[in-house]
Chains A and B, each alone.
Chain A
Amino acid sequence: MELSAKARAEIDKWLTKYPPDQKQSALLPALHIMQDEIGYLPREAMDAVADHLGIPHIAVYEAATFYSMYHLHPVGKHKISLCTNVSCMLRGCDKIEKHLKQRLGINFGETTADGKFYLEEVECLAACRNAPMMQIDRTYHEDLTPEKVDKILDSLT
Chain B
Amino acid sequence: MIDIEIDGKKLQAKEGEMIIQVADEAGIVIPRYCYHKKLSIAANCRMCLVQVEKVPKPLPACATQVTPGMKVFTQSPVALAAQRAVMEFLLINHPLDCPICDQGGQCELQDLAVGFGNDTSFYHDGKRAVEDKDIGPLISTCMTRCIHCTRCVRFGEEVAGLRELGATGRGEHMEIGTYIEKSLRSEVAGNIIDLCPVGALLSKPFLFRGRAWELDSHESIAAHDCLGSNIYIHTRRNQVMRVVPQENESINETWLSDRDRFSYLGITQATDRITQPMIRQQGKLQAVSWQQALTHAVKGLQQVCSQHGAEAIGALTAPTCTTEEAYLLQKVMRGIGSHNIDHRLRQTDFSDQAYDPFHPGINFDLAALEKFDRMLLVGYNIHREQPLAGLRVRKAALNGAKIAAVSLLEHQYNFPLAEHKVVASNELIPLLAGIAKVLVNAQGEVSAQEQALLKAIDINAQHQELAALLQSGEHRCIVLGALALHHPQAAIIRSLTQLIARLANANYGCFTDGPNTAGAHIAGALPHRMASGAKVEKPGLTWQQMLAKPMKALLLMNVEPEHDVANSPAAMAAVQQAEQVIALTPYLTGALAEHADVVLPITPFAENMGTYVNVEGRWQSFRAAVLPQGDSRPAWKVLRVLGNLFELNGFGFESAPEVLAELREHLQQSDSDKQGQWYCPQTLDQHSDNLERVTECSIYAVDNVVRRSRPLQDSLTTTSS
- Chain A residues close to B by CB (< 8 Å): 43, 56-59, 61-62, 65-67
Query: Given A43-B180, A65-B179, A59–B170 Cβ distance below 8 Å?
Result: no
Main secondary structure of the interface of A (DSSP, over half): helix
Residue pair A58, B163 in contact (C-beta under 8 Å): yes
Which residue of the partner chain, among B157, B166, B170, contacts A61 with CB atoms under 8 Å?
Answer: B166
Minimum CB–CB distance for A32 against chain B, Å: 18
Could you say which residues of chain B place their CB within 8 Å of the CB of A56? 157, 163-164, 166
Query: Given A43-B180, A65-B179, A58–B169 Cβ distance below 8 Å?
Result: no
Most buried by B among A58, A62, A67: A58
C-alpha spacing A65/B178, complex, angstroms: 12
Minimum CB–CB distance for A13 against chain B, Å: 26
Most buried by A among B157, B163, B166, B170: B166
C-alpha spacing A43/B165, complex, angstroms: 16
C-alpha spacing A66/B163, complex, angstroms: 18
C-alpha spacing A58/B175, complex, angstroms: 12
The 7 closest A-B CB pairs, nearest first, are A58-B166, A61-B179, A56-B163, A65-B168, A62-B166, A66-B170, A65-B169
C-alpha spacing A58/B168, complex, angstroms: 8
Could you say which residues of chain B place their CB within 8 Å of the CB of A61? 166, 168, 179-180
| B157-194 to A contact mask, C-beta < 8 Å, 1/0 | 10000011111111000000011100000000000000
Residue pair B180, A62 in contact (C-beta under 8 Å): no
Minimum CB–CB distance for A104 against chain B, Å: 27
C-alpha spacing A110/B164, complex, angstroms: 32
What are 20 sample pairs from A and B whose C-beta atoms fall under 8 A apart? A43-B180, A56-B163, A56-B164, A56-B166, A58-B163, A58-B164, A58-B168, A58-B178, A59-B163, A61-B166, A61-B168, A62-B166, A62-B167, A62-B168, A62-B179, A65-B170, A65-B179, A66-B169, A66-B170, A67-B170
Minimum CB–CB distance for A106 against chain B, Å: 23
- Chain B residues close to A by CB (< 8 Å): 157, 163-170, 178-180
Could you say which residues of chain B place their CB within 8 Å of the CB of A65? 168-170, 179
Minimum CB–CB distance for A1 against chain B, Å: 14
Minimum CB–CB distance for B511 against chain A, Å: 27
User: Which residue of the partner chain B has the closest CB to A43?
Assistant: B180
C-alpha spacing A65/B169, complex, angstroms: 5
User: Which residue of the partner chain B has the closest CB to A61?
Assistant: B179
C-alpha spacing A43/B166, complex, angstroms: 15
Known: A59-B163, A61-B168, A62-B168. 12 other contacts (CB 8 A): A43-B180, A56-B157, A56-B163, A56-B164, A58-B168, A58-B178, A61-B166, A62-B166, A62-B167, A62-B179, A65-B169, A65-B170
Main secondary structure of the interface of B (DSSP, over half): loop
Minimum CB–CB distance for B613 against chain A, Å: 38
Could you say which residues of chain A place their CB within 8 Å of the CB of B168? 58, 61-62, 65-66
C-alpha spacing A98/B178, complex, angstroms: 39
C-alpha spacing A43/B179, complex, angstroms: 10
Residue pair A58, B165 in contact (C-beta under 8 Å): yes
Could you say which residues of chain B place their CB within 8 Å of the CB of A57? 180
Minimum CB–CB distance for A7 against chain B, Å: 21
Most buried by B among A43, A61, A67: A61
Minimum CB–CB distance for A67 against chain B, Å: 8
User: Which residue of the partner chain A has the closest CB to B167?
Assistant: A62
C-alpha spacing A61/B168, complex, angstroms: 7
C-alpha spacing A36/B682, complex, angstroms: 66
C-alpha spacing A62/B150, complex, angstroms: 13
Minimum CB–CB distance for B466 against chain A, Å: 24
User: Which residue of the partner chain A has the closest CB to B162?
Assistant: A56
C-alpha spacing A56/B170, complex, angstroms: 19
Could you say which residues of chain A place their CB within 8 Å of the CB of B166? 56, 58-59, 61-62
User: Which residue of the partner chain B has the closest CB to A55?
Assistant: B163
C-alpha spacing A81/B166, complex, angstroms: 29
C-alpha spacing A59/B180, complex, angstroms: 12
C-alpha spacing A6/B164, complex, angstroms: 30
Minimum CB–CB distance for A60 against chain B, Å: 9
Minimum CB–CB distance for B582 against chain A, Å: 52
C-alpha spacing A65/B168, complex, angstroms: 6
C-alpha spacing A58/B184, complex, angstroms: 12
Could you say which residues of chain A place their CB within 8 Å of the CB of B170? 65-67
Minimum CB–CB distance for A152 against chain B, Å: 31
C-alpha spacing A142/B617, complex, angstroms: 78
C-alpha spacing A61/B176, complex, angstroms: 12
User: Which residue of the partner chain B has the closest CB to A68?
Assistant: B170
C-alpha spacing A18/B157, complex, angstroms: 22
User: Which residue of the partner chain A has the closest CB to B153?
Assistant: A58
Could you say which residues of chain A place their CB within 8 Å of the CB of B164? 56, 58
C-alpha spacing A62/B148, complex, angstroms: 14
Could you say which residues of chain B place their CB within 8 Å of the CB of A43? 180
C-alpha spacing A146/B6, complex, angstroms: 67
Could you say which residues of chain A place their CB within 8 Å of the CB of B165? 58
Minimum CB–CB distance for A44 against chain B, Å: 11
Minimum CB–CB distance for B150 against chain A, Å: 11
Minimum CB–CB distance for B107 against chain A, Å: 26
Could you say which residues of chain A place their CB within 8 Å of the CB of B157? 56
Could you say which residues of chain A place their CB within 8 Å of the CB of B163? 56, 58-59
User: Which residue of the partner chain A has the closest CB to B170?
Assistant: A66
Minimum CB–CB distance for A109 against chain B, Å: 14
Could you say which residues of chain A place their CB within 8 Å of the CB of B180? 43, 57, 61
Minimum CB–CB distance for B508 against chain A, Å: 32
C-alpha spacing A66/B179, complex, angstroms: 12
User: Which residue of the partner chain A has the closest CB to B178?
Assistant: A58
Minimum CB–CB distance for B398 against chain A, Å: 13
Most buried by A among B163, B167, B170, B179: B179
C-alpha spacing A59/B167, complex, angstroms: 9
C-alpha spacing A58/B164, complex, angstroms: 6
C-alpha spacing A131/B178, complex, angstroms: 42
User: Which residue of the partner chain B has the closest CB to A47?
Assistant: B180
C-alpha spacing A43/B168, complex, angstroms: 14
C-alpha spacing A65/B177, complex, angstroms: 12
C-alpha spacing A59/B170, complex, angstroms: 14
C-alpha spacing A61/B169, complex, angstroms: 9
Minimum CB–CB distance for B142 against chain A, Å: 20
C-alpha spacing A65/B173, complex, angstroms: 10
Could you say which residues of chain A place their CB within 8 Å of the CB of B167? 62
Minimum CB–CB distance for B161 against chain A, Å: 10
